[in-house]
Amino acid sequence: MGETCFHFFRSTVFILNLFFWLMGLGTLGIGLWLRFDPAIAELMHLQGDEHNLNLICYLLIATGVIMSVIGFLGCFGAWRMSQCMLVMFFIILIVVFCLEMAAAIFAYTHQDSIRQYIDDSMYDVIHYHYGHNNEYAKVFDQIQTQFECCGVKSYRDWLRSSWGRELRSRVEIGIGAGTVGKVPASCCNAEGLQSYPTTCGLAFDKLELYTYEEFMHSKGCSDAIYQSAYNNLELVICFCVGIACIQLFGMFMSMVLCCWVSDRAAKRRKAESSKI
């Protein structure tokens, strides 16, 4: 019975760490791909965001290396029944677990700052880049279409866009320039696309923009994105809890196996000394 349990623990620790090792190699591969892929590098160059991309890449590479080392130490320790390797595996896993907890706490306590950064980035695209760079336009149009939203806070954000203000003079019809503008077709709802099949959004510069309000998505993209994130929050929490449980289980199993290996070694030494 004892030997059966021992081999069960040993096999479980080996399989668990093989999983860690494969996940580490996958994460490392993604980080290297993002770092050296020419297309992604060019896109980030257009957005002027190389620094943030490099930071993300290096974090992924570092995470992949650490996970690979953890998996290797665990697999080697379980296969060779090396007490030293199992202890190293346990210590590194504790360090990684503490770093993950610190990152989660940081994200929770700084969520307003993170949201503000995302909002500022979207405002920057609307005000200065949309219409001047196709890559920005494609990404923002995809966001507005997918989340059925318009602008950052509302469609009125497009009135402050250089693209939305590309208008002919409205003096002859007495309309204030600050209230006239156009929006991308991706801002249009189903009714708007039905009423303006080919010019929806682009034809909204004839009158004040609020005149066409019924034809546009009412939500801003900031609220829409965060509402979607909140709706999936339970799934994200379950995933994070699952990863944490796997790590805690790995720590527990490695310590049990380590103690078992130590006990077996002590019994072996005792048996050898009794023969002498």
Domain of 208: which CATH number? 1.10.1450.10
Rounded average pLDDT over 91-95: 82
* Enclosing domain of residue 205: 114-225
**DSSP three-state, residue 161:** coil
Structure tokens at 177: 């320039």
Question: Which residues are registered as beta bridge partners of 188?
Answer: 216
Closest CA to 254 of 99, 95, 82, 96: 82
In-domain check, residue 233? no
Angle between helices 50-80 and 83-109 (to 10 degrees): 150
Say whether both 127 and 220 belong to one domain.
yes
> How many domains does the structure of the chain reveal?
2
Rounded average pLDDT over 215-220: 92
Which of 46-55, 209-218, 262-271 is least confident? 46-55
In-domain check, residue 72? yes
DSSP conformational letter for 263: H
Structure tokens at 33: 């791909």
Closest CA to 85 of 97, 104, 71, 101: 71
Q: What is the pLDDT of residue 276?
A: 59
In-domain check, residue 261? yes
Say whether both 24 and 92 belong to one domain.
yes
**DSSP three-state, residue 15:** helix
Say whether both 123 and 97 belong to one domain.
no
pLDDT in tens, 29-82: 887 887 776 655 555 554 555 566 677 778 778 888 888 888 887 787 777 777
Say whether both 30 and 102 belong to one domain.
yes
Say whether both 34 and 71 belong to one domain.
yes
Q: Which residue has the higher pLDDT, 99 or 226?
A: 226
Residue type, position 273, single letter:
S
For 189: left if phi > 0, alpha if psi spans -120 to 50, otherwise beta; the answer is beta
In-domain check, residue 230? no
Confidence of residue 228 (pLDDT cuts 50, 70, 90): confident
Question: Which residues are registered as beta bridge partners of 208?
Answer: 180
Say whether both 192 and 149 belong to one domain.
yes
Q: What is the pLDDT of residue 40?
A: 58
For 236: left if phi > 0, alpha if psi spans -120 to 50, otherwise beta; the answer is alpha
Mean pLDDT taken over the chain: 78
In-domain check, residue 53? yes
What gap in Å lies between CA 219 and CA 209, rounded to an integer? 15
In-domain check, residue 273? no
What gap in Å lies between CA 178 and CA 167, rounded to an integer? 11
CA 188 to chain centre: 28
In-domain check, residue 44? yes
In-domain check, residue 198? yes
Say whether both 159 and 199 belong to one domain.
yes
Say whether both 100 and 71 belong to one domain.
yes
Say whether both 136 and 216 belong to one domain.
yes
**DSSP three-state, residue 208:** strand
Q: Are 130 and 161 in contact (CB under 8 A)?
A: yes
Say whether both 37 and 6 belong to one domain.
yes
Output the pTM of the full model: 0.60
Say whether both 81 and 30 belong to one domain.
yes
Say whether both 148 and 179 belong to one domain.
yes
